[in-house]
Amino acid sequence: MAYAAAVDTLETRELRYFVAVAEELHFGRAAERLGMAQPPLSRAIQQLERRLGVCLLERNRRGVALTAAGRVLLSEGRATLDAATAAARRTRRAGGADNPGGARNRLVLAVKTAAVHELLQNLLDAYAAQPDAAEVEVLQCRMTDQEARLRDGSADVALMHVPYNSLAGFDSEELMSEGQLAVLPAGHPLAARKTLSVADITDLPDLPRARWPRHGVYAPGPGPEIHDQTQLAQLVALGRTVAVVPESAHAWMWPEHAAIPLTDAPPVVTHIAWPTHSRSPALASLIRTAVQLESSRQTSVTARRLPLG
């Protein structure tokens, strides 16, 4: 309850400095990024190390390397800084139009661009019909940015797709589950098949799987590097790659595409997720709406049991 000061707690300024140095592994560049001179930065890091009683960086001959403790602080520091900026953002939004009524009247919902479609539309419609509905702003995210947006306070709630997204660190409710399709160039021999297995489209020499960045870095491999769905769609149309997408992703299908069901791909499960602590009435209402919407849909449609893993 009582948060101790001084020795036990780190200032976000110190964390910003350390994270910058740890990411750049170079005091000069880190200082430049921080908009300050190098000497005070060096001193600040030294003070931090002395206060923690721990060696964070190994300064050998040319450059800097992280120690084990440094790696821990980099990870924890990022999380703390995310929490701090999220605190600022969410507080600003909560007091935005200075609504004296007490309840915030706006929710930011992060979704992956070109995903979910009907689910999103149904959710927005159903929620808008609620008597206490807040205004919902839809924040379009590329790739798996919903996680970052939720973490840093840019969004209040997100639609996530497991296993593409990770729910780690968030509260969530499952909304729907669906199979996946292989999307091939229409002229490809495999495009004539009724169904495909994951093995059928793995390691095809003519169609290497595209690679997208996880946390900013691309995994090594033969396939092309992409960073959004449109690029992927074009590459498929050009006959350069094969894509695996959820069944409901037909929104961005092109005439040059052939979509074949994958019999053994892991199901894609759509969740509604939100930061652990925040649970405003408006957010709770949106979540309730989403869960009711999907449970009613599942009972009307024949519920299909999906195989596990």
By the criterion CB under 8 A, which residues form the site for a second copy?
A: 1-5, 8-13, 15-16, 19-20, 23, 33-35, 52-56, 67-69, 71-73, 75-81, 83-92, 94-96, 98-104, 153, 168-171, 216, 276-278, 280
d(CA 83, CA 199): 41
The answer to whether the bond into 163 is cis (omega within 30° of 0) is: yes
Contact assessment for residue 149 and residue 89, using Cβ atoms and an 8 Å cutoff: no
What does the alpha-carbon distance between residue 90 and residue 8 come to, in Å, rounded to a whole number?
26
Q: Does 19 bind DNA (CB under 7 A)?
A: no
The phi, psi pair for 85, rounded to 5°, reads -70, -35
Between 65 and 192, name the residue whose CB sits nearer to DNA. 65
CB of 11 to DNA, least distance (A): 8
Give yes or no for residue 61 binding DNA (CB under 7 A).
Answer: yes
- Give the shortest CB-71-to-DNA separation in angstroms: 17
Instruction: Name which of 90 and 161 has its Cβ closer to a second copy.
Output: 90
b (16+ CB within 10 A) / e for 287-309 = bebbeebbeeeeeeeeeeeeeee
Residues 213, 216, 220, CA angle at the centre, nearest 5°? 50
The 8-class DSSP code of residue 189 comes to G
| Cβ closest to a second copy, residue 202 vs residue 276 | 276
Interface with DNA (CB under 7 A), residue from 7, 50, 62, 222: 62
The nearest distance, CB 154 to a second copy, in angstroms, is 11
Q: Choose from DNA, a second copy, none: what does 59 bind? Cβ within 5-8 Å by kind.
A: DNA
**DSSP β-ladder status, 157-162 and 106-112:** parallel
* Degrees to nearest 5, angle at CA 122 with 120 and 125: 105
Contacts with DNA, 23-52, as mask; x by CB under 7 A:
--xxxx------xxxxxx-xxxxxx-----
Residue 131 binding partner per list DNA, a second copy, none, with a CB distance cut-off of 5 to 8 Å that depends on partner kind:
none
Q: Which is nearer to a second copy, 63 or 213 (CB)?
A: 213
**Binding partner of 257, given DNA, a second copy, none, CB within 5-8 angstroms per partner class:** none
Q: Encoding tokens for residue 73?
A: 């602080």
Does residue 95 touch DNA according to CB under 7 A? no
Please give the full DSSP string across 190-209, using - where no structure is assigned: GGG-S-B-GGGGTT-SSSPP
